[in-house]
Homo-oligomer: A and B are copies of this chain.
Amino acid sequence: MNPARRYTLTLSCPDRVGIVAAVSGFFAQHGGWIVEASYHADADTGRFFMRQEILADSLPFDGAGLSSLFAGLAREFEMEWQISDSAQLKRVVILVSKQDHCLNDLLHRWRNGELLVDIICVISNHDDLRSFVEWHGIPFIHVDMQGNDAVAKAAAFEKIAALYEKSRGDILVLARFMQILPPDFCRRHAGRVINIHHSFLPSFAGAKPYHQAYTRGVKLIGATCHYVTEELDDGPIIEQDTVRIDHGDSVEDMVRYGRDIEKTVLARGLRYHVEDRVLVCGNKTIVFK
Residues of A within 8 A of B (CB): 1, 17-18, 20-22, 24-25, 27-29, 31-35, 37, 39-41, 43, 58, 100-101, 104-105, 108, 112, 114, 131-132, 135, 200-204, 216-220, 222, 236-242, 246-248, 250, 252, 256, 259-260, 264, 281, 283-287, 289
Contacts and interface: CB of A to CB of B under 8 A. Distances in A.
Contact of A219 (B32, B112, B240): B240
Q: Is the interface of A mostly helix, strand, loop or mixed?
A: mixed
Contacts of A260: 264
Given A17-B32, A201-B218, A247-B281, 13 more contacts: A20-B37, A21-B28, A24-B25, A25-B25, A35-B41, A114-B256, A200-B220, A202-B204, A216-B237, A218-B240, A219-B239, A246-B289, A260-B264
Contact of A241 (B100, B220, B285): B220
A239 to B, nearest CB: 6
5 contacts: A132-B135, A135-B135, A216-B284, A217-B237, A222-B242
A287 B247 contact: yes
A247 B286 contact: yes
A241 B200 CA distance: 12
Nearest to A284: B217
Contact of A250 (B43, B105, B259): B43
A216 B241 CA distance: 15
B112 A108 contact: no
Nearest to A288: B247
Contact of A33 (B17, B203, B248): B17
A217 B112 contact: no
B18 A28 contact: yes
A267 to B, nearest CB: 8
A287 B32 CA distance: 26
Contact of A240 (B104, B108, B220): B220
Given A17-B32, A28-B18, A108-B100, A237 B256 contact: no
Given A135-B135, A216-B202, A218-B240, A20 B40 contact: no
A20 B20 contact: yes
A285 B247 contact: yes
Given A1-B252, A219-B239, A242-B242, A20 B43 contact: no
Nearest to A289: B246
A31 B250 CA distance: 25
